[in-house]
Structure 1
Amino acid sequence: MHFVPLTAFSVPLGNASGARRDSLGGRYGWQWVPIELGLGAKVIEELYIGAYLSLGVGYEGSDSRTAARCEAGNDFEDDVSCSSTTVHAGIEARYNFEPAESLNGWFGYGFGMTSGNESVSDSGRYRESTTARGLDVARLSGGLDFRAKRGFGLGPYAILSIGRYLHTRTEVREDVTFSGDIDRKSFHAWLSLGLRMVVFP
């Protein structure tokens, strides 16, 4: 078996949809990925196939309207909190160049589902949440593992997740105000840089 926890930060690139001025960074700020889990097995010594799940948390994006609402809560009279979260899950394959050596480079490809949520809350009096869901059509990854002993590895990595949101849902005070497909779809990407730990490599 092959267990891979990671930690990283991610930055948004591209557009959330084809609508005017709907950039991914306008919706979501940069994300801290506290942990990403991978679980799978080696088909051969060089080739790993498994599943992955990652969760990112961060602040609101750079959209001027959202930023104004969030900044309005920075005084003592209001208690407005703004946040964003992202989820990626799917399957991937990774090829290892030198799996038996203490220094091993690798690259991978995967695909799966993706979702992003932006939330504004005013101390329980008001809450608005919008969630977009779609597909990661390509998850391109690569890195370098340093293995001091068999059974454990540590090293830097990078991931470029290219996706497309297909559906969006908005809730205001727990009431659904909109739920449907996105008319004008667009591709976006998340670039992640971080450190991974490999157990039973």
Structure 2
Amino acid sequence: MSLTVAAVFLASGSAFAAEAEGEAAATPAAAPAAAAPAAEPAAEGKESGLEVGARVGYGIPMGNAAEGSKMSDAFNGKIPLWLDVGYRLNRNIYVGGFFQYGIGLMNDDKCKDCSGSVMRFGVNAQYHIMPTQKFDPWVGVGVGYEIATLSSKTTVLGQTFEASSSTKGLEFINLQAGGDYKVSPDFGIGPFLSFSLGQYSSSTVEINGQENSADIEKKAMHQWLILGVRGSFVL
């Protein structure tokens, strides 16, 4: 937004000097320039209570699932469907749990006829910076667990092979930032950004019903960058 400041110029004549002098004496001094408007306050909602939220967005994979295996070899991205449930301790502090199911957008060049998903769950906390204003920016941090699932079907010499894999590991940290525009005192909606850092530690592979599980020896770090929209309601 831009603020336009107008300047007003006054001119005076020289005729009737005495009369002008009298008018000047009777004219009150100009009022000082108005200060910049403060942030617009919102009607005060509940100070504490159960809070539920939902998010949707787009996730960008980065890093490696294991050494020599890029996340982008399987996923071009994901569409996360994210649920938050927790408690607003006061107007500023929220603590709770989260669950996210991500619909995988697959890399058809390297994973043809594949489908996949990414599931995450854990705990997080948020600090709301301006909870009584119409727009309330916030920051958050969390930890959790991640499960990435891939499945494919291939036909070779008339025989169909079905394969699936489930790769699991810790999400060491999840950094978040966003802002809530107060539609009502207890309901807000706005943008958010999330960046998570995790590591897969084990994998289970199933081919035509035969299952094999093992730890990942050459572990690597991977990240998800998620941009989206979040809505939350304090009950």
Please state which band the TM-score falls in when normalised by the shorter chain. Answer: 0.7 to 0.9
Structure-2 change in CA distance of 1:63 and 1:130 (3 Å)? farther
The unaligned stretches of length 5 or more in structure 1 are 71-80
Residue 86 (structure 2) pairs with residue 40 (structure 1): yes
Which one has more relative contact order, counting CA pairs under 8 Å at least 6 apart?
1
Q: What letter matches 1:194 in structure 2?
A: G
d(CA) in 2 for partners of 1:115 and 1:61? 18
- Contact map agreement 2:88 2:234 (CA 8 A) in 1: no
Distance 2:109 2:139 in 1: 35
What's 2:7 paired with?
none
After TM superposition, the score normalised by the length of structure 1 is 0.86
Deviation at 1:43, TM superposition (A): 2.0
TM-score by length of 2: 0.74
**1:30 aligned onto 2:77:** yes
Distance 1:60 1:98 in 2: 40
CA RMSD after TM alignment: 1.8
- Structure 2 unaligned blocks of 5 or more: 1-49
Matches of residues 106-185 of structure 1 in structure 2 within 5 Å? 106-122=138-154, 125-176=160-211, 178-185=212-219
Kept in 2: contact 1:9–1:30 (CA 8 A)? yes
Superposed CA deviations along residues 124-154 of structure 1, whole A, max 9, x for unmatched, are 9431111110000000000011002112111
Aligned mate of 1:60, from 106, 109, 113: 106
Greater radius of gyration (CA): 2
Match of 1:12 in 2: 61
Q: 2:224 aligns with which of 183, 187, 190?
A: 190
DSSP-derived class of the 2:125 partner: strand
Paired residues, number = 183
1:25–1:62 Cα contact (<8 Å) kept: no
In structure 2, how many angstroms separate the alpha carbons of the residues matched to 1:29 and 1:120? 16
SS in 1 for 2:91: coil
